[in-house]
Chains A and B, each alone.
Chain A
Amino acid sequence: MPTTKSELLQGTLDLLILKTLSAGAQHGYAIAQRIQERSADVLVVEEGSLYPALYRMEEKGWIAAEWGKSENNRRAKFYSLTRAGRKQLEEETALWERIVRAIGLVLKTA
């Protein structure tokens, strides 16, 4: 699998996880796959930082965890977005867009 390892800031990792979960509950592996797919293989999640990030967000109350069955019939922990998480997602998305717009403005000027 061709991977271009781009550096992901932790804050943006949180944002990506939240966005992924807004589509429905998933377990950790699926989240990582989904992010890679949706970003057309540009963003490859550093697996070492995925689970600590998930636990941190669970601690902060943005996501909730439940045990269920994975595709290959194994016990897996499924994460879902909480209401606080949804709010956090909105806020971070808005912030991200503001930053991107600002950088764009700077770059456009000749």
Chain B
Amino acid sequence: MKSLRSVWWKLRSLARLGAVKREIDEELRLHLELRTLENLAAGMSPEEAARAARRRFGNVQSIREECRDVRGASFVETMLRDIRFGLRMLRKNPGFTAVAVLTLAICIGANLAIFAVVDAILVRSLPLPDASRLVVIHNAHPASGVERGQATITDYFERRGNIDALESLSMFREETYIVGERDAARRIQGAEITPEFFQTLGIGLVKGATFTDAELNYGPDTVAIITDQFWRDNFGADSNVLGRTFLMDSLVIRVIGVLPAGFRYLSTKAQIYRPLSHFQETRDLVSRYPPGAHTPDRRTPVTRYTARARMHDGQMVARLRAGRSMAEAQAQLNYVNSRRLALDPLSETLKTAAYHPRVEFLRTAHVNSVKSTVLLVQIGALILLLLGGINLAGLLLIRASGRMKEMAVRQALGAGRGRLAREILTETTVLSFVGGVGGVLLAVVSLRVAMSLGIDALPLGADIVFDRRTGLAAVFASVMVGLGLGLPILWMHLHGSTNLSLQTETRGATTSHAVQRLRHGLIVTQIAAACVLLYGAGLLGVSLKRTLDQSPGFKPEQVMTGDLMLPWQNYQSDGSRVAFVFRLLDQLRAVPGVSHAAVSSGLPFTKGGSAPRGILPEGFVPTPGGLRVHYVSTVTSDYARAMGIPLLKGRFIEDADSREDAPKVAVLDEILARIYWPNGDVIGQRFCTDPSVFKPELAYTIVGIVGSVKQQELAETAKLGAVYLPYTEFGSFQIITRLSGSAATMGSTLQKIVRQLDPRLPQVDFKPMQRRIDDSLVTRRSPAILAAVFAGVALLLAGTGVYGVLAYAVSQRRREVAVRMACGATPRLIGRQFLTLGAKLLVLGIALGTFGAWIAGRAMQRFLVEVPSFHISTSAATVFVISLVTLLAALLPARRATQIHPMEALRHE
């Protein structure tokens, strides 16, 4: 208790440093004055009175200092003095300081930048109120290979209000809209939601109110809630915006609400929120209508709705009620699901697919895909920091050896260990701080650069900023690094025998064995760390190459693709859409340089395609694990030829198949053929796209088999298979053109053709197919590039470290070498000796590094594509590169050793 009080007292004094010193002076001065007055009264002369007073008082200065010490004022002063001294030392050796600061800036900066990413993605809570209670509900059917399936609108109505553990539940689905008309038409990202979406997130609207249930039907659904940015851009921040309209997909949409500024749901770029409109019948369809039934008005077959009801296309977001757990919500969901399964005609198939709803925290689900990659990169950066720190520690040790004698003298004269420790640690911390400042600058710059390169494509990526928390991390890292750097030096000074230091004749350092072992140990660690980084980078590089080598199943070279969406308002009938598409294809084929043109509703490597669906082949009985999903797309005749997909059997889709009265035909890929008809003929078999029941009048006949293609990622292992149906009425599709010449200039030509056909359509962004494939590789490419950069820096650091230590060793032993040379040793022998030292360190480093690399390989297994964790050629390459760099670095000092002139060296000391 007492010491706590004294600490508090000292801190208070620190806060009023100047005032405290003045008070002490004032008190002491008064005392002297009063004493002088007394002396005067006793009859002394003024000068004698003053002198006697001072004499009786004692040494004013030392008393003043003692007083300051007691009041705690001296602590801060000595600290400031140490800092100033440290800065002066740094200025005196500009070369060393520059190298040290640069090394620290790079290592700390890299860590800070990646920490900012880790913070934004993994640590910081979502920018939504009480975000820890937000959950996502997936529909998983793992037996068909779907871990995280989306939800259907039917799910929403089933679960809404029936799950007590959830306070509120809503759905979210991203959409793209065309806003404006003619030349001002542009594509804007939007989303369709259920009415309580914003309430679930805890966001209140700034203006207006959310949708009503009535607005979820087609018809009244021409309303929208807009973001703050959209409001400013399109309505000039009009305060009477409610009720105003804008044109979207050629519909007149009324604004009924405005969101607060800065609101964004996770990573979406949606600016317009519309109701998730659907047919009323979809809501409780499954329980009300058995398959094959008609709706009461007897006009539309129920199957049209069942298809929609089974469209898993929305994300279900919910909020846990306060005090309830995920386990409770999961249990209740399971119950609701089992009740529905009892009524669902597809229940058997669903059960065999192990279909079940799964609750997961929103944040976990969202960052799941990049979590491990980000952590991997952070670990790499930390290893790099370790390397840099060791490098610097070695250099500092060498420099500190030059002051060993001074330290020994001071210790002999009584300087306390605390005093020495404070001095040394302050100096290294000052250095580290300066490096840290450089690191902060570097981190800010590299984050800016990364932003412009599109890092916001990462989940929550747009939230990556350099903020207060990263700043605190910077300060913390600098201080830790500074202390870490100072400790070996401190150990060296305090451990070394002062006697020995004082007795040696050299003005410089002593080479005690322990210190030398420490230095060599540091170098061995450096080499090992460099090995680990090199090996990791090598593995990632090989993995990337193996991924790139994988064939996508089609020929992407010289293929230009573009996304197009026909607004419903202008193309209401299926016929009008089909007509447009075929007109477009005719025009495209007429362009010189275009060899094939086609259209597809689900191009591979394109986001936003329809979710995989199940099919039901004729006579097929689903076995356990038998409900599978496949990529279903509608295409025109030239598709296979335009994409370069090989036709294996039969024929591909033809234009005639798209006619209204044409018999229903389809083409499958070889994966599907093997799954459902492993033994027999596939051509001529039939299947239905509604997996609940096989109806001959709706069945498709298979007319051909094509090769399989990769759908999402070059390295994907899930083989879902693809079904190609003739293009019928899809309003949203991709245009594919194969060019006979170069692709670069064709973009604008193709755009013009679309424009000519319908000037109301927005610009189609034509890009090469290869670019879509490249974009899918971002999560593999970036870590590989970063790792390569780290490895390069690591090599540089290891090399300079080895060079530094050996150069120092040579300069230390000049005398010894000179004497040996004078006694007849050849320069070659001397050189070899130093090289041998370097080689020994190298071997030890490689041994340690191999162990570390093995661990790294095992830990990285999940990132690697077809690369075993112990990859022979990568290991060999690592050993080779490290040896080369180390021996080169050792060569220079060794050569310098051979050039020592005995006479000069002996004369010098």
Interface 1/0 per residue, B30-50 and A, CB below 8 Å = 110111010000100000000
Determine whether B2 belongs to the interface, using a CB cutoff of 8 Å to chain A: yes
Select from chain A the residue with minimum beta-carbon distance to B39: A1
Q: A52–B63 contact, CB under 8 A? A: yes
Q: A77–B27 contact, CB under 8 A? A: yes
Most chain B CB atoms below 10 A, which of A51, A74, A76 = A51
Select from chain B the residue with minimum beta-carbon distance to A3: B56
Q: A75–B26 contact, CB under 8 A? A: yes
Determine whether A19 belongs to the interface, using a CB cutoff of 8 Å to chain B: no
Chain B nearest Cβ from A14, distance in angstroms: 13
Q: B31–A28 contact, CB under 8 A? A: yes
Q: A72–B33 contact, CB under 8 A? A: yes
Q: A51–B63 contact, CB under 8 A? A: yes
Q: B5–A47 contact, CB under 8 A? A: no
Chain A nearest Cβ from B56, distance in angstroms: 6
Determine whether B28 belongs to the interface, using a CB cutoff of 8 Å to chain A: yes
Tell me, in angstroms, the Cα distance from A67 to B565 when the chains sit together: 84
Tell me, in angstroms, the Cα distance from A32 to B53 when the chains sit together: 13
Q: B30–A51 contact, CB under 8 A? A: no
With known contacts A1-B42, A51-B67, A77-B23, A60–B6 Cβ distance under 8 A? yes
Q: B27–A51 contact, CB under 8 A? A: yes
Among A46, A59, A60, A70, point to the contact of B34 (Cβ < 8 A): A70
Residues of B contacting A71 with CB < 8 Å? 34
Select from chain B the residue with minimum beta-carbon distance to A77: B27
Which residues of B, 653-688, contact A by the 8 Å Cβ criterion?
A: none
Q: A27–B30 contact, CB under 8 A? A: yes
Determine whether A55 belongs to the interface, using a CB cutoff of 8 Å to chain B: yes
Residues of A contacting B9 with CB < 8 Å? 59
Q: A61–B31 contact, CB under 8 A? A: no
Among B24, B34, B35, B70, point to the contact of A56 (Cβ < 8 A): B70
Tell me, in angstroms, the Cα distance from A29 to B24 when the chains sit together: 13
Chain A nearest Cβ from B15, distance in angstroms: 15
Residues of A contacting B63 with CB < 8 Å? 47-48, 51-52
Tell me, in angstroms, the Cα distance from A32 to B32 when the chains sit together: 12
Select from chain B the residue with minimum beta-carbon distance to A32: B31
Among A1, A59, A72, point to the contact of B5 (Cβ < 8 A): A59
Determine whether B476 belongs to the interface, using a CB cutoff of 8 Å to chain A: no
Tell me, in angstroms, the Cα distance from A61 to B67 when the chains sit together: 17
Residues of B contacting A52 with CB < 8 Å? 63, 66-67, 70
Tell me, in angstroms, the Cα distance from A28 to B34 when the chains sit together: 11
With known contacts A47-B57, A51-B27, A59-B70, A74–B33 Cβ distance under 8 A? yes
Tell me, in angstroms, the Cα distance from A27 to B71 when the chains sit together: 18
With known contacts A48-B58, A52-B66, A74-B33, A28–B27 Cβ distance under 8 A? yes
Select from chain B the residue with minimum beta-carbon distance to A27: B30
Interface 1/0 per residue, A40-69 and B, CB below 8 Å = 000000111001100110011100000000
Select from chain A the residue with minimum beta-carbon distance to B9: A59
Determine whether B59 belongs to the interface, using a CB cutoff of 8 Å to chain A: yes
Tell me, in angstroms, the Cα distance from A46 to B71 when the chains sit together: 20
Tell me, in angstroms, the Cα distance from A28 to B67 when the chains sit together: 13
Residues of A contacting B58 with CB < 8 Å? 46-48
Tell me, in angstroms, the Cα distance from A32 to B604 when the chains sit together: 95
Chain A nearest Cβ from B29, distance in angstroms: 9
With known contacts A52-B66, A55-B70, A60-B5, A76–B33 Cβ distance under 8 A? no
Q: A76–B37 contact, CB under 8 A? A: no
Most chain B CB atoms below 10 A, which of A32, A48, A72, A74 = A48
Residues of B contacting A28 with CB < 8 Å? 27, 30-31
Residues of A contacting B26 with CB < 8 Å? 75, 77
Residues of A contacting B6 with CB < 8 Å? 59-60
Residues of A contacting B42 with CB < 8 Å? 1
Q: A48–B59 contact, CB under 8 A? A: yes
Which residues of A, 58-109, contact B by the 8 Å Cβ criterion?
A: 59-61, 70-72, 74-77
Chain A nearest Cβ from B5, distance in angstroms: 6
With known contacts A47-B57, A48-B63, A55–B30 Cβ distance under 8 A? no
Tell me, in angstroms, the Cα distance from A28 to B24 when the chains sit together: 12
Residues of A contacting B67 with CB < 8 Å? 51-52, 55
Select from chain A the residue with minimum beta-carbon distance to B42: A1
Most chain A CB atoms below 10 A, which of B33, B34, B59, B67 = B34
Interface 1/0 per residue, B752-773 and A, CB below 8 Å = 0000000000000000000000
Chain B nearest Cβ from A103, distance in angstroms: 29
Most chain B CB atoms below 10 A, which of A52, A72, A77 = A52
Select from chain B the residue with minimum beta-carbon distance to A50: B31
Residues of A contacting B70 with CB < 8 Å? 52, 55-56, 59
Residues of B contacting A61 with CB < 8 Å? 5
Residues of B contacting A51 with CB < 8 Å? 24, 27-28, 31, 63, 67
Residues of A contacting B59 with CB < 8 Å? 48
Interface 1/0 per residue, B52-70 and A, CB below 8 Å = 0000111100110011001
Interface 1/0 per residue, A13-53 and B, CB below 8 Å = 00000000000000111001000000000000011100110
Among B2, B28, B34, point to the contact of A72 (Cβ < 8 A): B34
Residues of B contacting A76 with CB < 8 Å? 27, 30
Tell me, in angstroms, the Cα distance from A12 to B9 when the chains sit together: 24
Tell me, in angstroms, the Cα distance from A13 to B357 when the chains sit together: 81
Residues of B contacting A74 with CB < 8 Å? 30, 33
Tell me, in angstroms, the Cα distance from A56 to B71 when the chains sit together: 8
Tell me, in angstroms, the Cα distance from A13 to B37 when the chains sit together: 25
Residues of B contacting A70 with CB < 8 Å? 30, 34
Residues of B contacting A27 with CB < 8 Å? 27, 30
Tell me, in angstroms, the Cα distance from A46 to B58 when the chains sit together: 8
Residues of B contacting A75 with CB < 8 Å? 26, 30
Tell me, in angstroms, the Cα distance from A56 to B23 when the chains sit together: 15
Residues of B contacting A77 with CB < 8 Å? 23, 26-27
Chain B nearest Cβ from A76, distance in angstroms: 5
Tell me, in angstroms, the Cα distance from A71 to B34 when the chains sit together: 9
Tell me, in angstroms, the Cα distance from A47 to B6 when the chains sit together: 24
Residues of B contacting A56 with CB < 8 Å? 70
Tell me, in angstroms, the Cα distance from A60 to B62 when the chains sit together: 23
Residues of A contacting B23 with CB < 8 Å? 77
Which 6 A-B pairs give the minimum distances between C-beta atoms? A48-B58, A29-B34, A55-B70, A47-B57, A48-B63, A29-B31
Pull 16 A–B residue pairs with CB atoms less than 8 Å apart, ordered by A: A29-B30, A46-B58, A47-B58, A48-B57, A48-B58, A51-B28, A51-B63, A51-B67, A52-B66, A59-B70, A60-B6, A72-B34, A75-B26, A76-B27, A77-B23, A77-B26
Besides the contacts A27-B30, A77-B27, what 16 more A-B pairs have beta carbons closer than 8 Å? Answer: A1-B42, A28-B27, A29-B30, A29-B31, A32-B31, A48-B63, A51-B63, A51-B67, A52-B70, A55-B67, A59-B71, A60-B2, A60-B5, A70-B30, A75-B30, A77-B23
